Amino acid sequence: MKPRHLLCWGGYALKTHFDESEHWHGWWPWLCQVEPAALVCEVSEWEFVINTPCENAQKMYIGNAMGGNYAAVFAQLIINGSSQGPHCFIVPIRDENGGLYPGVTAIDMMHKEGLHGVDNGILIFNKVRVPRENLLDKFGSVAPDGQYHSPIKNKSARFNAMLAALTPSRLAVTFQALSAMKLGLTIAIRYSHSRRQFGPKAKEEVRIIEHQTQTLRLMPHLATVLALTFTSRYAGALLDEDIFQGKELVSSRVLQALVAGLKAYSTWENVGCLQDCRESTGGMGYMMENRISDLKCDADVFVTFEGDNVVMLQSVLHDAYDVDYEHRLLMSSFCTVATLIASKCQLQMNLISPADGAFL
Ligand SMILES: Cc1cc2nc3c(=O)[nH]c(=O)nc-3n(C[C@H](O)[C@H](O)[C@H](O)COP(=O)(O)OP(=O)(O)OC[C@H]3O[C@@H](n4cnc5c(N)ncnc54)[C@H](O)[C@@H]3O)c2cc1C
């Protein structure tokens, strides 16, 4: 990245967004095909020309599209009529006063289920010219004579290398899902320790946590969230070390697969966990002031963004067959740890005798 852009972003003076998803297809199919309807960028003598050729190539869901100054835009790089695959360009969207630059259209996508603090919009480019230095050229560059150069010859492998940059943000989504679960569980478990309902005959009412069903519903989630926290911290430490060592993220396929798996596992767990928190707090759980409904709406999108969970698991499977035995073991272990702890917890609860639970 060019120092000039770092200067803008580092000072927080200008807002940016990351534009990968398109109207016709999400970001993933780009891995394997050159879509003729995709956003394109053609090389002129001193500039790149970013163009949205049709509706299907419009950029969708773009966070901060209604206020951002710069966008990191993925577009097919076309040189002399032939595509070199998707590349990332820094495209100025608005000036410092918020006015859109000529050729740029931004449309608000309006109401969403959650995440109301950020707008999401559609971006359309009509032959927008950007300087040649705005191509992020780590994986592919264009010389002044128009010749294309890349250290990675295969187009799919090249795009894979660019997508490896999503590993840190997938880990960030994992931690956000874990935070939502911890908050939901704190609310639900505290409520369960203070709220009382019918108890054994002719005795005082008991706290609802003493009902076996209530404990069985919440404790496995608590165990899972703890196991996932330790595994995610471990993945974070590996990632930190790789970045510190200056290692290319794409070269650590095991780590990428581990993070993809953690993202899918934790965000799905989050959906089930928050629903159980909501039910475990009865009518109170439905009230906005008690935060669980907000958490549910905000965290729901985690299962599809930064890569849909089904596709994430497919990539884990794909990598699991490709890596050696020792690494395969590491990747599968995080799933088993979480499941084992959760089921062990459930087993202990089941050991309570029917007599103990007569009031249930
Ligand atoms: C609130 C929000 C914010 C967002 N912010 C941004 C942003 O700032 N920048 C950006 O670029 N994008 C952003 N996105 C887009 C987001 O990354 C995509 O929605 C996400 O990657 C899923 O892609 P898609 O919507 O095209 O789903 P689709 O690809 O249409 O998937 C729909 C279904 O098809 C299935 N499917 C798709 N492909 C396969 C396959 N290969 N194999 C099996 N099943 C498959 C999926 O599992 C899923 O069930 C945002 C989305 C939302 C909702």
Helices (H), 63-165: 155-163
Choose the residue to mutate in 123, 308, 310 for probing ligand 1, maximizing ligand atoms within 8 Å of C-beta: 308
Is ligand 1 within 6 A of the CB of residue 62? Answer: yes
Across 336-356, average pLDDT: 47
- Ordered by start, the domain boundaries in the chain are 8-16+28-152, 165-196+206-350
Question: From the CA of 301, how far away is ligand 1's center (Å)?
Answer: 10
* 158-189 pLDDT, tens digit each: 988 888 889 999 999 999 999 999 999 999 99
Model confidence, pTM: 0.85
H or E element, residue 189: helix 166-194
- CB–CB of 136/72 below 8 Å? yes
What does the alpha-carbon distance between residue 59 and residue 86 come to, in Å, rounded to a whole number? 14
Using alpha carbons, select from 94, 109, 84 the residue that is nearest to residue 23.
109
Nearest to 49 by CA among 130, 110, 121: 130
Does ligand 1 come within 6 angstroms of the Cβ of 114? no
The ligand 1 atom nearest the CA atom of 19: 11
Which residue owns the Cα nearest ligand 1 atom 43?
Answer: 311
Q: Ligand 1: does its nearest atom lie under 6 Å from the Cβ of 61?
A: yes
Cα–ligand 1 centroid distance for 21 (angstroms): 7
CA of 229 to the centre of ligand 1 (A): 25
* Percent above pLDDT 90 for the chain: 57
Q: Which CATH class is domain 165-196+206-350?
A: mainly alpha
d(CA 218, CA 184): 10
Give the confidence band of 12 by pLDDT, cuts at 50, 70, 90.
Answer: very low
CATH of 8-16+28-152, one of 3.40.50.1100, 2.40.110.10, 1.10.30.50, 1.10.4080.10: 2.40.110.10
Look up tokens 């609860």; give the residue: 349
